[in-house]
A = this chain, B = another copy of it.
Amino acid sequence: MPEGNAAAVLDRVGGKWSVTILLIVCQEPHRFTELEHVVEGISRRMLALTLRALERDGLITRTVHPSIPVRVEYSATAIALELRESLRTLADWALRHRAAIAEARTAYDDRATARPDRESATAPGPDGRRITSAS
């Protein structure tokens, strides 16, 4: 019966970068700039925003060491560490089926564009924004 609340999981994990950062920080504490480099692809803005959100939810802790260039470390809380295994499992799954999913997408898209009798290949798409990213 907990189905109705299943969405709650993703509310806390629903950002583009949350899981990635959580996974990294669960292994060991990292500084801001370290994360910026390790995550790779993330903007400074999104890193800050994501860290804020995770901190707000009590999943990570922000510690400021008053050095001369300030030094800030982010570490996972106990509550977040409980997630570690499931998150890794999820990531492994994604890795394992990476190819299969890409294939499924291509097949689906081919079927979609090949079927219509009287539609040009350059279908402008109505409002049907793909719910997941392309490619």
Write the residues of chain A forming the contact surface with B, with a CB cutoff of 8 angstroms. 2-20, 23-24, 38-41, 49-50, 52-53, 55-59, 79, 82-83, 85-87, 89-95, 97-98, 100-101, 103-105, 108-109, 128, 130-133
Contact = CB atoms under 8 A, between A and B. Distances in A.
Contacts of A56: 104-105, 108-109, 132
5 contacts: A2-B92, A8-B94, A11-B132, A57-B132, A59-B101
Count of identical protomers in the assembly: 2
B9 A104 contact: no
Contacts of A82: 93, 97
Contact of A100 (B20, B79, B93, B95): B79
A90 B57 CA distance: 16
A6 B83 CA distance: 14
A89 to B, nearest CB: 4
Contacts of A59: 101
